[in-house]
Amino acid sequence: MAVYIDKIAVSTNEMDIIDITSDVQSSVEKSGISAGIACIFCPGSTGAITTIEHEPGLMKDLPAALERIAPKSGYYEHEKMWHDGNGHSHVRASIIGPSITVPIEDGKLQLGTWQQIVFVECDARSRNRTLIIHVLGE
């Protein structure tokens, strides 16, 4: 049993949803791990990790739902104290969550055909992000 650590750099704009599947698959291949799990984590409180069918329609539809949960133009106590314009970003990221765990079999991520691993940029401005991949297994 081994642990392999990798990083993925992504540059984002507001509400970008970035497909990182091939990067994570590449981390799995570099790890040499055949059976185990890939843990994907966003170190930062205004970004989130999930899976989605990465096609243009849903890139509009997921943000529209997040707008219902935490509207950008809503009232935020966070804004009142910090004036960084991203109260909604924090709330959205906390609800989706910072991590997922994807199974590996025969050295391959076991995703569905129309399912991609994505980073969701909830922040209100462009960011350079470093996502963390831990592959555990044998």
Residues interacting with a second copy, by CB under 8 A?
1-3, 5, 35-37, 39, 41-45, 50-53, 55-62, 64-65, 68-70, 76-82, 87, 90-91, 93-105, 110-112, 114-116, 132, 134, 136-138
30 three-class SS: helix
d(CA 138, CA 136): 7
Nearest residue (CB) to a second copy, 32 versus 69 = 69
Going by their DSSP bridges, the two strands 17-19 and 127-137 should be labelled as unpaired
**How far apart are CB 102 and a second copy at their closest, in Å?**
6
Nearest residue (CB) to a second copy, 124 versus 132 = 132
Nearest residue (CB) to a second copy, 9 versus 56 = 56
Compute CA 57 distance to the chain's CA centroid, rounded to the nearest angstrom: 18
Cβ atoms of residues 91 and 120 within 8 Å = no
Q: How would DSSP label each residue in 2-16?
A: EEEEEEEEEEE-TT-
**How far apart are CB 55 and a second copy at their closest, in Å?**
7
**How far apart are CB 13 and a second copy at their closest, in Å?**
18
**How far apart are CB 63 and a second copy at their closest, in Å?**
10
- What secondary structure letter does DSSP report for 130? E
